[in-house]
């Protein structure tokens, strides 16, 4: 028997920062007939709010620290403002959706990061049993579209900030035994690029060996590295299709008319 | 056949403003065996945040206006910070709960208030078909405790601020045909008081005629008036038990050892 299809769609910060783009993206994905889960990051809104409130961004050894004030802002912006606006806009487009943090229905329980020398603050790391897969399945069975933000909890009363790419990965992997899962990282570029300044230089297919080579050559760097680590982890754990693509071209990807994207292969 | 029991518990702003009180209240209600829905208001946090961000509170004819900046703050504070902290604390106490705005799963659809002379801004009024009762029933069947905040939506993409007392009332009424519903307005005082400065002057039972008399005499006034209007509306629409009581005494009320509260009667 063929497994049912499910998409896990991660939308990046840049698309959230531009309200017109976000509205258009949500109108677009509301037309997708395959059940999907939307995972969203934060964008600049949280940074802007911290600035307005004069809460300094704390950095130790170049790594961002989520102190008590910062997790409060992240919770307000990600789980409140962005999440509820996305849900209201999907409802407008007749896509019945439900916004969820990791605390809701114990959807994502993480562990507060422990590091020998750096106190990262309220940051949660995913583990293999983090996802409440049964609850997600129930929502999908009720034709509800889960909209998941990056705030998780530790089960001990603390809310924790968690990487949204990693959440998308963990959700995709957790569903892979029951569903045929596609994991789609949507952002503002055409895919993984040979030359970050040239949107036409898409790497169309990328396997792990090529990834390691391009990493050593410095062609793939920075924020793309953890995203691709997540992709290869998903590939090794039963996720069927993994792609990095431009948010505005998602329908073309799904109906096979857009060929400009990066597919992660074995 | 006896109907199943459900409690609709409204927790007021003052209990939310004091973190220690809130933690204690959530520990307490986590022990309640009867299924319940928790509805929460906002407290001073939203006002404080607006002040810090230099967003002036707009008043027309003494009525608060929810402009675009204010609904943004209300969404961040009520649907984000407060709602997710309550859920995380209930999870800590092994009460599996789920935080919901009215947009989530189309739980509460309201109509943007239209007034001939005043533009109230992003304020939503409840109507008889506002509540998605079926969804609430599904959550209760899954042993999930809904934690509902005061942000609703209009189905056209707008989030709207709605009176939390009225939401508790609408939820109670919508469940009354299927369940034996108790509607409990919890706040910082012992109940409706003859003398607001004397917490021992509780009006133990209040029917509609007495309410009208006490209102005319000015003994019941201000914020208590819309709360009691909600109570009598609930009573007329099948809600079995309606009480106004001190948040810290809720267990005593439920096990009949606390007799200091106001019960609304026919």
Alpha-helical runs (H) found in chain B: 13-17, 19-29, 45-52, 68-74, 83-92, 133-141, 164-175, 208-216, 224-236, 250-254
pLDDT in tens, chain B (266 residues): 689 999 999 998 788 888 999 999 999 999 999 999 999 988 789 989 999 999 988 877 767 789 999 999 999 999 999 999 999 999 999 999 999 999 999 999 999 999 998 899 999 999 999 999 999 999 999 999 999 999 999 999 999 999 999 999 999 999 999 999 999 999 999 999 999 899 999 999 999 999 999 999 999 988 899 999 999 999 999 999 999 999 999 999 999 999 999 999 99
To which residue do tokens 């993984």 refer? Answer: A192
**Residue A80 to residue B85, Cβ atoms within 8 A:** no
A-proximal residues of B, 104-133, CB under 8 Å = 104-106
Q: Which residues contact A1 (CB under 8 A, 6 or more apart)?
A: none
B-chain CB neighbours of A89 within 8 Å are 157
- Structure letter (DSSP) for residue B121: B
Choose, out of A24, A84, A107, the residue to mutate when testing the contact with B (most B CBs < 10 Å): A84
DSSP result, B71-82: HHHHIIIIIIII
Q: Which residues contact B168 (CB under 8 A, 6 or more apart)?
A: B8, B9, B10, B39, B183, B185, B230
**Residue B76 to residue A81, Cβ atoms within 8 A:** yes
State which residue of chain A sits closest to B149, comparing Cα positions. A80
Of B84, B89, B105, the CB nearest to A75: B84
The nearest CA of chain A is from the CA of B38 a distance in Å of: 14
| Section A83-94 average pLDDT | 98
Instruction: Check if the interface score ipTM surpasses 0.90.
Output: yes
Domains and CATH numbers, chain A: 4-264 (3.40.1160.10)
Measured distance CA(A84)–CA(B79) in Å, rounded: 8
Choose, out of A40, A91, A124, the residue to mutate when testing the contact with B (most B CBs < 10 Å): A91
Q: Minimal CA–CA distance to A9: which of A132, A165, A235?
A: A165
Annotated binding residues of B = 42-43, 64, 161
Q: What is residue A60's predicted lDDT score, i.e. its pLDDT? A: 74
Q: Does B52 touch chain A (CB under 8 A)?
A: yes
What are the pLDDT digits (tens) for A29-40? 999 999 999 999
Q: Which residues contact B38 (CB under 8 A, 6 or more apart)?
A: B9, B11, B29, B86, B97, B145, B146, B147, B148
Helix, strand, or coil (residue B151): strand
Which two structure tokens, joined as six digits, stand for B134? 């079926």
A-chain CB neighbours of B149 within 8 Å are none
Which two structure tokens, joined as six digits, stand for A164? 């949204």
Question: Which secondary-structure segment (H or E) carries A21?
Answer: helix A19-29
Of A53, A76, A105, the CB nearest to B52: A53
A-chain CB neighbours of B105 within 8 Å are 96-98, 144
* Cβ-based contacts under 8 A for chains A and B: 110
């Amino acid at each position: 028997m063929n497994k049912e299809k499910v998409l896990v769609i991660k939308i990046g910060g840049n698309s959230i920062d531009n309200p017109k783009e976000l509205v258009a993206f949500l109108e677009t994905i509301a037309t997708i007939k395959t059940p999907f889960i939307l995972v969203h990051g934060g964008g600049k809104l949280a940074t802007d709010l911290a600035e307005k409130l004069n809460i300094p961004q704390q950095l130790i050894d170049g790594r961002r620290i989520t102190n008590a004030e910062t997790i409060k802002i992240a919770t307000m912006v990600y789980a409140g403002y962005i999440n509820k606006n996305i849900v209201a806009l999907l409802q407008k487009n007749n896509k019945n959706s439900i916004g969820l943090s990791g605390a809701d229905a114990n959807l994502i329980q993480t562990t507060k990061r422990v590091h020998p020398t750096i106190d990262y603050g309220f940051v949660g790391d995913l583990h293999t049993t983090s996802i409440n897969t049964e609850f997600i399945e129930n929502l999908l069975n009720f034709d509800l579209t889960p909209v998941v933000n990056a705030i998780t909890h530790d089960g001990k009363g603390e809310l924790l900030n968690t990487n949204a790419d990693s959440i998308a990965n963990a959700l995709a992997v957790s569903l892979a035994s029951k569903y045929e899962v596609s994991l789609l990282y949507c952002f503002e570029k055409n895919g993984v690029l040979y030359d970050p300044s040239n949107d036409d230089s898409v790497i169309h297919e990328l396997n792990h060996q090529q990834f390691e080579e391009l990493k050593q050559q410095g062609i793939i760097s920075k924020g793309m590295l953890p995203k691709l680590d997540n992709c290869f982890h998903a590939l090794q754990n039963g996720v069927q299709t993994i792609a990095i693509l431009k948010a505005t071209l998602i329908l073309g990807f799904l109906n096979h008319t857009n060929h400009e994207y990066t597919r992660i292969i074995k």
